[in-house]
Each structure stands twice: as structure tokens, then as C-alpha cells.
A and B are shown apart, each in its own frame.
Chain A
Amino acid sequence: MALLEIKDLHVSFYTDAGEVKAVNGISFDLERGKVLGIVGESGSGKSVTAYSVLQILENNGRIVSGSIRIDGQELVGAGEKVMKTIRGNKISIIFQDPMTSLNPTYTIGRQIMEAILLHTDRTKEQAYERAVEMLRLVNINEPEKRMKQYPFELSGGMRQRVMIAMALACEPDILIADEPTTALDVTIQAQILELMKSLQEELGMAIILITHDLGVVAQMCDEVIVMYAGSICEQGTVDEIFYNPRHEYTKGLLNSIPTTATKDQKLKPISGTPIDLLNLPKGCPFAPRCENAMKVCINHPAEPMVINENHVAACWMNVKKGIEDGNIVLNSKADDIKEGGGQL
């Protein structure tokens, strides 16, 4: 049994303009101690997925259906009482903007200790010690001085370290990091990522790293999920996704990164604009922007197909390839089923 199992999750926001379908039937597992990256553009549903795990969606957001299990315990429908014991304790989250994510009128120490006192039996003195210990762990100098300071007195990088310290204070099994470095300077980014990597090795928690930056994924993650318009395009190990992309969107993403190899060529961005989640079309959500879209893409959403044991992709191009290679047969005539072999 995986540490975290998500099956067929559907999340929508109910607005004045209608139902915004932010997540449309995604499934994935997270194993203990692994680092999973979720990649996608804004609106792809990656953050919403994370927030659904902790059930900290905004007021008008709701998990419509699906299952989220941690260590076998079902979280969907479990109720606030249960969720309060999970949040900050078994599963923690750090957010993108450390400036606004910390309460400006509370000291650093108080904010970290709050988490400790909530979820453990420690006394105030013990909580204080633990908080100082955590600050040291994230490489903040003079931790005892920092305990008494306010967020605005710290730099962006330090604040993010404080967030990490706060998130890890109760030794969670899973740390969710929602674009943890996007709001930071490039040099600080590297430091924070280094820190997260070393903490992960030291403490052994699983990490879900949400980002739009493929470079970060390459650096940090074991496995990656590519999302678009609330659905999973493909998922697999980092090597598989980067070197053997099997979804047109992933290919587009990889092609649009400028590298030294392509430095004399024009950049190839993905044309078109992201889909309107109020009006999801019936076929594959990426089809309108896809160079290779086929008629089947217009009419039917692609089902996830197993490429190999490390790789699943939901793209009709794979089926097309399968037909061309003779591994897949169309039509329901049972006697025409051919036994095909091996990989697609």
C-alpha cells in the first residue's frame, strides 16, 4: 500500500459564473520517502489537488468525488476533527509567497510553537526548544534571536526556511511544497532546493513538489506528473518523462525550454491560450492547441495508457502508434483480436 493513494479525484469551484471544474478525475500514488513533482501551467489544477489533500480549499471549492487515502485512512468525507489531526502533523504544506504566508503580527517563535503545541504533548518550554532546533535544522543562524523577531524583519529566503521549519516541526510523513521557490531570487532558489533535498534525505519524508519549472523537477524529483486543465497528461519517473515524453503537451513543454543546444533557433512556445475551465470541451482538453490533434481527440478524452511500468500517458498519439505497430486493434469484433506484444 502506498503512503498516499488518490483515485479519480474530482474537484470543482462553484462560482457566480458557474461550476469551474478544476480537477477532473486524477489518480496517482505516492510512495514513502519519494519526491513527486506535479508540473503544469496556472489553472492546470496542481495546487487545487494539493489543497484537496489537506482540505483547505476556499469556501466555494468542493471535492465532488474520489478518494484520498493516507496509510489506508480515507480523508474524503472524514470531517474536520480528523483533518485537524492530519494538517501540520501527518501532512504539511508550504506555500509560494513566504511574505504573506506568515502572520505579520506574531513572532516567528510563536508561529512555529503553535504547530508543535497543537499536535504534540510537549510543554511550552519543550516546544520552544523544539522550535529552536528546527530553526537550526533549516540553517538559520542565531535561532534564538529569530524566535523573537517578526516576519518582516527577515529576508525572503529566511522566511521560506521558517515556513519549512514550521512545516517539519511535527515530523510529517508528507511535505507538500506549492511553488516554494517561485517568489524567491534565483540564487536563493537554489539554496532552498538544496535545503529541501538534504532535509528529505535526513528525515525521510515524502515530498510533493508543485512547480511549473521543469528544471526544478529534473533536479529534485524521482517521479513526475504532468497536468493540464485538471487532468493528468502523463506520469512516470523523471527519466521516462524527460527522455521519452509520450504526450503532446509534455513534448511542447520540453520543446519550449531554451537550451544551449537550441540557442540559435527561435523559441517554440505552445500556441493558443489555456482552456476555460467553465466550458470544458468533450474531447482531450489540450486538443485545440495541439499540432497533431486528430479527430478522435476532438470527440473523446484519452484514457490513460500504460507505456511501461514506469510510465503512463493519456494521449491518442500512443494509440495511433499502437495501431501502426500492429499492437492495437480497433472495432469490437471479438475474433479480430490480435495478440500483440510488449511495449507500445
Chain B
Amino acid sequence: MSTKLMSYILKRLVLALLTVWVVVTITFFVMHAVPGGPFLAEKAISEAVTKQLEAKYGMDKPLMTQYLTYLRDVGTRFDFGPSLKQRGREVADIIYDGMKTSVKLGLIAASIALFFGIILGTIAAIRRNKIIDKVIMVITTAFVSMPSFIMGSLLLVLFALKLELFPANGSTTAGLVLPIITLALYPLAYITRLVRSSMLDVLGQDYIRTAHAKGVSRTKIIFGHALKNSLIPVITYVGPMLAYIVTGSLVVEKIFAVPGIGRAFVNSITGRDYPLIMGTTIVLSVLIVVMNLVSDILYKVVDPRITLE
């Protein structure tokens, strides 16, 4: 690996770690901005939990000490403390359970978005300005402008309630179909447009003209010369796409009652379960930061102008 690439990776890694640290810090201090502190703000905590909290966090100790303790616990043992609202459960366990479902949901949605997005985007670019292109553009414009909760709500109303094609509840496998589709639609539309514009860009490049002038067939130009270069921007989108899926899952799981981490997070907010809020924020943030990091590095690796120096 070239030194240029290595130094880039290092820089991004440092930035990512810094960001995670900033996230944890902000989360901690923001939470403690709640009057009375996050652990004691809610009155209806049982004796046992209160004792546990005090032992763990030393409520009477200065804030900085509490902060460092928290940092240590989270960083080394992934210990986010006990949940305030869910008796007897550790935040870490709640998060883990929720992640199982949500990760499954997210990965399937991402795959659908990538697969169909690339195909549709390529078709739209090849058949530029023809009917199929215009149709694709109109539909994707619509999907790109609809917030996920709108999309989810409409799908719920249409397919679950009116047409009764899918269950409205996300606890069963069949019930996951609508949430997955809801999550996938925005990225799918976005990727379609991205691929289309990127491919049109590439097709306008001089080297495509050279290939054409050499007698290379249209199909070969598109799938050989153009496609690889067109997909490079898509790689940069993978990070943001996953960030979207994470935040989108918050509302989607609420709408479809999916027992994932998103729903847990939303409930923790309305229920003011502060340890859970903190823990979930940190975990999800780390996830997003990592995905962005991977996507940034991947982009540099794929662009041969950098790799082979």
C-alpha cells in the first residue's frame, strides 16, 4: 500500500476516533444538563436501582469523575449501566437484543437499495430522455422527497390496512416486509439518481468517445468502460445511506412496531430512560461513524489514481 493511502487512512481513523469521543462526551454532558441529573430525574425509580446507581456512579462525586468513570466503563467493557425503565435489565443487553433485529432489517434494505438502484440508474442513463427514463426520474424524485415516516405511514395505510396484504405489526417475518421496503425506498431512489447522473457524466467523457471511435459496441462500452467508473460515487454514498437507515429505522420501527433498537431508542426518549438514551445514542453514532470511515477509505482504494502511486 502506498504511503499516501496509509496517511489518508490514518488521518481518517484519528478523525473517527475523535468524533466518537466527542459523541460520548456530548452525550454525557448533555444528559447531565437535565435538571437533577439523568439518573435521578425520574422519581419512580425503585430502591434497589437507586442503590445500584449510586454505587456505580457515585452520585455525590464531582461531574468530571463521573464522566471519566462512564468513559472507562463504556470504552472498556461496553457497560452502559442499568436501564431505568426496564427493571432488571442492563442497557447493553437491551441494545444487543434490539440490534439483532434492526441490523437484519437494515442490511436487507441496503442490499435492495443498492441492487435495484444500480440497475434502474443504468437503464435510465442508457435510455436517456426516453419514456422509461422520464418515468424513473419522476418516481425517484417523488421518493426522494418523501420523509421515511411519511412513506412508512402511507405504506402502512395502503398495504396493511386497506389492502390487507401485509401485517401491520413487525414482530413476525411477514411483518418485516413493509418496514424493509419503507427503509429501502429513499436510498433506492437516491442511488438510482446517483448512478444515472454519474453514468451520464462518464458517458460524456473523452475516453468513452475513444472507445466508441475504436469500434467498441454500445453494450461493451456501458458494461466494460462506463460502469466501473460510474459506481465510484455510489461507494461514497454507502456511509450516508447507512446513517439514513439508522435514523430511518427509528420512525419505521415505531410505525410498524418492530422490536428493534430504533423503537427502543424512541421509547427511551419518551420514557426518559436516560441511561438507555445515552447508550443507544453512543452505539448508533459509533456505527454511523464507522460506516462513514469504511466508505471513505474504500473510495480511495478503488480509485486507481491513488492506489497505484
Contact = CB atoms under 8 A, between A and B. Distances in A.
Interface string A79-122: 01001111111001101010011111110000000110011000
B60 to A, nearest CB: 63
Interface string A200-217: 000000000000000000
Interface size grouping (class) on chain B = 20 to 34
Interface string B270-309: 0000000000000000000000000000000000110010
A56 B229 contact: no
Interface in A221-275: none
Contacts of A166: 210, 214
Interface stretch (B14-22, B160-168, B201-209): B201-209
Contacts of B104: none
Interface string B191-211: 000000000000001110111
A59 interface: yes
B213 interface: yes
Interface string B164-179: 0000000000000000
B214 A115 contact: yes
Contacts of A86: 215
A54 B213 contact: yes
Contact of B215 (A89, A97, A163): A89
B207 A88 contact: no
B228 A87 contact: no
B217 A152 contact: no
B32 interface: no
A101 B215 contact: no
A80 to B, nearest CB: 8
Contacts of A152: 304-305
B207 A87 contact: no
Interface string B208-250: 0111111111100000010011000000000000000000000
Contacts of A163: 210
A247 to B, nearest CB: 31
Contacts of B218: 80
Contact of A88 (B206, B215, B228): B215
B128 interface: yes
Nearest to B214: A88
A140 B218 CA distance: 31
B211 to A, nearest CB: 7
A102 B128 contact: no
Contacts of A92: 213-214
A87 B214 CA distance: 5
Nearest to B232: A105
Nearest to A103: B207
Interface in A141-178: 150, 152-153, 163, 166
A103 B209 CA distance: 10
Given A101-B207, A105-B228, A93 B304 contact: no
B205 A100 contact: yes
A150 B213 contact: no
Contact of B304 (A88, A97, A105): A105
Nearest to A99: B206
Contacts of A119: 215
B202 to A, nearest CB: 10
B215 A118 contact: yes
Contacts of B308: 150, 153
Interface string B73-94: 0000000000000000000000
Contacts of B214: 87-88, 92, 114-115, 118, 166
Contacts of A97: 206
Nearest to B229: A105
A95 B215 contact: no
Contacts of B211: 103, 114
B305 A101 contact: no
A152 B307 CA distance: 12
Contacts of B305: 104, 150, 152
A286 to B, nearest CB: 30
Given A104-B304, A105-B304, A95 B217 contact: no
Nearest to B225: A103
A199 to B, nearest CB: 18
A56 B206 contact: no
Nearest to B211: A103
Contacts of A88: 213-215
Given A56-B212, A100-B207, A104-B207, 7 more contacts: A56-B209, A85-B215, A100-B205, A114-B216, A150-B308, A152-B305, A163-B210
23 contacts: A54-B213, A56-B212, A59-B128, A80-B218, A84-B215, A84-B217, A87-B213, A89-B215, A92-B213, A92-B214, A100-B205, A101-B206, A101-B207, A101-B209, A101-B210, A102-B207, A103-B225, A103-B229, A105-B228, A115-B214, A118-B214, A118-B215, A166-B210
Interface of B: 128, 205-207, 209-218, 225, 228-229, 304-305, 308
Query: What 8 A-B pairs have minimum CB-CB distances, sorted nearest first?
Result: A88-B214, A87-B215, A100-B206, A88-B215, A103-B207, A101-B206, A84-B215, A115-B214
